[in-house]
């Protein structure tokens, strides 16, 4: 299968996921009074996030379909050139980075359970900031990790009044 076909499948899976989760989120808004605030309810954020993700998926779906039709027209007219060594190296590096990111996400989830959000998240963000860009600056990665953790704390704990689970230790 071609790359665009995979993209199309992933987009459709995301849309299906958003649809199922939205139907659950919009029909089960019954919460104990301790979780209900006057301004924002805890289930508002996931519902809004799912709506935004679904809308972006629709835009991406349209773009992918347009790209596929353009590729079919171009394929019938001209044969695609071979990839250069540099393009192959970039592709290989990107594949490695995506696998490392997936591994870091799994480690983050495990560490979150044992160390808690406020220790696991800065470690995860710092590691991602060191892996993803070409130029790595440890102090910028550290600053990004601290800022991300503080913003998450302010938004979820102070604004939405959502408590993060306590670590096991």
Give me the number of domains the chain comprises. Answer: 2
The whole-angstrom separation of Cα 158 and Cα 77 is: 58
Q: Does residue 145 surpass a pLDDT of 90?
A: yes
Q: What pLDDT is attached to residue 39? A: 63
Q: Note whether 52 and 98 are same-domain residues.
A: no
Residues 129 and 58 in one domain: no
Residue 150, pLDDT score: 93
Q: What is 106-149 written as a DSSP string?
A: HHHHHHHHHH-HHHHHHHHHHHHHHHSSSS--HHHHHHHHHHHH
Domain match, 92 and 169 both: yes
Task: Please name the helix (run of DSSP H) or strand (run of DSSP E) that holds residue 93, with its range, or none.
Answer: helix 85-115
- Confidence label for 42 from pLDDT (cuts 50, 70 and 90): low
Verify that 161 and 140 share a domain, yes or no: yes
pLDDT value of residue 34 = 46
DSSP SS3 for 13? helix
Give every CB contact of residue 130 below 8 A, 6+ residues apart in sequence.
136, 138, 141
Last residue of a domain, one of 46, 80, 114: 80
Q: For residue 12, what are the domain limits? A: 1-80
Residue-averaged pLDDT of the chain? 81
DSSP assignment, residue 35?
Answer: G
Query: Which value, to the nearest 10 degrees, does the dihedral of the CA atoms of residues 68, 70, 71, 77 take?
Result: 150
CB 126 within 8 A of CB 142: yes
Q: Select from 56, 80, 104 the last residue of a domain.
A: 80
What share of the chain has pLDDT > 90, as a percent? 20
Instruction: Tell me the backbone φ, ψ of residue 122, rounded to 5 degrees.
Output: -60, -35
Distance (Å, whole) CA 27 – CA 22? 8
69 and 99 co-located in one domain: no
What percentage of residues in the chain have a pLDDT greater than 70? 84
Has residue 125 got a pLDDT over 90?
Answer: yes
Of the three residues 54, 80, 106, the one that is the final residue of a domain is 80
pLDDT in tens, 61-114: 899 888 888 888 776 766 656 778 888 888 888 888 888 988 999 999 888 888
> Is the pLDDT score of 35 beyond 90?
no
Same domain, 74 and 121: no
27 and 107 co-located in one domain: no
């Amino acid at each position: 299968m071609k790359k665009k076909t995979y993209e199309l499948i992933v987009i459709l899976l995301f849309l299906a996921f958003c649809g199922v989760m939205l139907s659950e989120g919009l029909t089960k808004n019954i919460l104990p009074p301790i979780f209900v605030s006057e301004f924002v309810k805890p289930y508002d954020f996931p519902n809004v996030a799912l709506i935004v993700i679904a809308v972006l998926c629709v835009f991406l779906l349209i773009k992918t379909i347009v790209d596929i039709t353009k590729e079919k027209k171009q394929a019938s007219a001209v044969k695609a050139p071979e990839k250069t060594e540099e393009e192959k190296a970039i592709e290989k590096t990107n594949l490695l980075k995506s696998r490392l990111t997936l591994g870091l996400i799994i480690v983050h989830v495990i560490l979150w359970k044992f160390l808690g959000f406020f220790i696991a998240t800065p470690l995860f963000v710092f590691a991602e900031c060191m892996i993803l860009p070409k130029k790595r600056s440890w102090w910028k990665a550290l600053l990004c990790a601290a800022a991300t953790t503080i913003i998450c704390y302010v938004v979820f704990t102070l604004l939405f009044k959502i408590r993060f689970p306590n670590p096991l230790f």
